[in-house]
Copies of this chain bind each other. A is one copy, B any other.
Amino acid sequence: MKYFKDIPEVKYEGPQSDNPFAFKYYNPEEIIDGKPLKDHLRFAIAYWHTFCATGSDPFGQPTINRPWDRFSNPMDNAKARVEAAFEFFEKLNVPFFCFHDRDIAPEGENLRETNKNLDEIVSMIKEYLKTSKTKVLWGTANLFSHPRYVHGAATSCNADVFAYAAAQVKKALEVTKELGGENYVFWGGREGYETLLNTDMELELDNLARFLHMAVDYAKEIGFDGQFLIEPKPKEPTKHQYDFDAAHVYGFLKKYDLDKYFKLNIEVNHATLAGHDFHHELRFARINNMLGSIDANMGDLLLGWDTDQFPTDVRLTTLAMYEVVKAGGFDKGGLNFDAKVRRGSFELEDLVIGHIAGMDAFAKGFKIAYKLVKEAVFDKFIEERYRSYKEGIGAKIVSGQADFKMLEVYALNLSKIENKSGKQELLEMILNKYMFSE
């Protein structure tokens, strides 16, 4: 069965196109800096939102009814979903997808049956991968939906749950390896607490570290050489999630000697829920050599939950891609659309349009960012701004030759301190020129 037969293949038609099913800014084969745009952006589809979302919310029932969800048997639906997925990947000519174990195959009566379900679908996907241009960016395990994870997985108060989660991640690692996944992601969906009154935070964090060490060990054992990623999120679904933001995760990894094994998967809407610009989280990750991958979406800053909207704000995508370009581009990571159509956008074509809008917004942002970096627009300003650390007392400070006594002598003899304007307004004016005057 063809699921998207009414949707034409999505091609690049350029900025003047009025075709909602065409790219206006994303030309996958356009060569920039010796590399096609598709390899700069490494777009991925999020299996869960794109193929599993129903439009339900805490106040309402599903609004979305996909044609691949037409069977009574969950395994039949799972297979139809694979068909639909690869048809969709081809339609959008997208190089990657990402998945949770439970997105692709349903839970069975027990773990053994669940794993069997998973194996069956993995085989099917493997067949598709042989001929498809689309590959696996990353896999992960869903350790938050099932009621067994009500109090967390690796941070559950129940050791049986920890064990079950371990078994599930073991399998997910195997599956990710088998499907050629380039990364493996941990998003601690319920790794947090609801109230400190009932929580042994120290034990929970120690256990989380134990869990991740076991994952690292097992990956070595099976020869999985993908990149491990942690995706921070501050406060949903639990009241406090341990992987609150990039800096929280960084400190955690340092504490437990895990920092050499993990990078970060930064999501736009998780950044803002934590009180940070997305730009900030990427910068933090970049300067700490932790920028692994991106969950591309957009939040509503006036709402207090993760809306996971398709990213269409080009100022946002420009500043994001600025950090990626400065980091030298993605290594194993990419831009995964952890985004869902609005509950009211329940038609099949909205799914395609949402992705096109997001891909165009990131392509446009990339092009602006690339030019800003290539022309060293902000770099030159910054170099000049911090020039005092290149010579004299500044150079001594940076090279470790200065101490408080030397600096006091210097300060006592300073006649006057001259600061210069930080020029925020000018820099924003220049950013607008690069955004709008091409």
| Complex interface residues of chain A between 309 and 330 (CB less than 8 A to chain B) | 310, 312-315, 319
The answer to whether B388 touches A157 (Cβ under 8 A) is yes
Contact of A381 among B145, B198, B378, B435 (CB under 8 A): B198
Q: Does A389 contact B (CB under 8 A)?
A: yes
Using Cβ atoms and an 8 Å threshold, which residues of chain B touch A171?
Answer: 408
In the bound complex, how far is the Cα of B423 from the Cα of A111, in angstroms? 28
Q: Which of A24, A205, A252, A421 has the most CB of B within 10 A?
A: A421
Stretch at the interface among A39-47, A130-138, A426-434: A426-434
Given contacts A57-B58, A146-B60, contact A432 B360 (CB under 8 A): yes
Contact of A167 among B189, B207, B251, B412 (CB under 8 A): B412
Contact of A255 among B144, B254, B433, B435 (CB under 8 A): B254
Nearest B residue to A148 via CB reads B417
User: Shortest distance in angstroms between A422's beta carbon and chain B's nearest beta carbon?
Assistant: 4
Using Cβ atoms and an 8 Å threshold, which residues of chain B touch A315?
Answer: 313-315
- Please, what's the 1-or-0 string for A98-110, where 1 marks a CB less than 8 Å from any CB in chain B? 0000000000001
Q: Which of A60, A237, A343, A428 has the most CB of B within 10 A?
A: A428
In the bound complex, how far is the Cα of B248 from the Cα of A341, in angstroms? 29
Q: Does A250 contact B (CB under 8 A)?
A: yes
In the bound complex, how far is the Cα of B162 from the Cα of A357, in angstroms? 32
Given contacts A57-B237, A276-B240, A280-B240, contact A159 B287 (CB under 8 A): no
Give the oligomeric copy count: 4
Using Cβ atoms and an 8 Å threshold, which residues of chain B touch A16?
Answer: 437
The answer to whether B60 touches A150 (Cβ under 8 A) is yes
User: Shortest distance in angstroms between A263's beta carbon and chain B's nearest beta carbon?
Assistant: 15
In the bound complex, how far is the Cα of B277 from the Cα of A316, in angstroms? 17
Q: Which of A198, A255, A344, A410 has the most CB of B within 10 A?
A: A344
Nearest B residue to A344 via CB reads B422
Q: Does A303 contact B (CB under 8 A)?
A: yes
Given contacts A164-B417, A203-B389, contact A397 B210 (CB under 8 A): yes
Contact of A160 among B145, B163, B393 (CB under 8 A): B393
In the bound complex, how far is the Cα of B419 from the Cα of A426, in angstroms? 45
- Please, what's the 1-or-0 string for A301-313, where 1 marks a CB less than 8 Å from any CB in chain B? 1111100001011
Given contacts A417-B161, A419-B158, A428-B312, contact A145 B60 (CB under 8 A): yes
Q: Does A342 contact B (CB under 8 A)?
A: yes
In the bound complex, how far is the Cα of B52 from the Cα of A91, in angstroms? 43
Q: Does A190 contact B (CB under 8 A)?
A: yes
**Interface size of A by Cβ–Cβ distance < 8 Å?**
156
In the bound complex, how far is the Cα of B40 from the Cα of A176, in angstroms? 55
The answer to whether B436 touches A302 (Cβ under 8 A) is no
Using Cβ atoms and an 8 Å threshold, which residues of chain B touch A276?
Answer: 240, 302
The answer to whether A170 touches B407 (Cβ under 8 A) is yes
Given contacts A60-B144, A170-B404, A432-B361, contact A427 B162 (CB under 8 A): no
Using Cβ atoms and an 8 Å threshold, which residues of chain B touch A207?
Answer: 389, 397-398
Stretch at the interface among A3-11, A67-75, A211-219: A211-219
Using Cβ atoms and an 8 Å threshold, which residues of chain B touch A18?
Answer: 433
Q: Does A32 contact B (CB under 8 A)?
A: no
Stretch at the interface among A76-84, A117-125, A178-186, A345-353: A345-353
The answer to whether B432 touches A111 (Cβ under 8 A) is no
Contact of A345 among B218, B300, B422 (CB under 8 A): B422
The answer to whether A163 touches B411 (Cβ under 8 A) is yes
- Please, what's the 1-or-0 string for A220-247, where 1 marks a CB less than 8 Å from any CB in chain B? 0000000000000011110110001001
New A-B contacts (7) at CB < 8 Å, excluding given A163-B410, A210-B402: A157-B386, A161-B417, A163-B411, A166-B408, A200-B385, A254-B255, A347-B420
The 3 closest A-B pairs by CB, nearest first: A304-B304, A251-B251, A159-B394
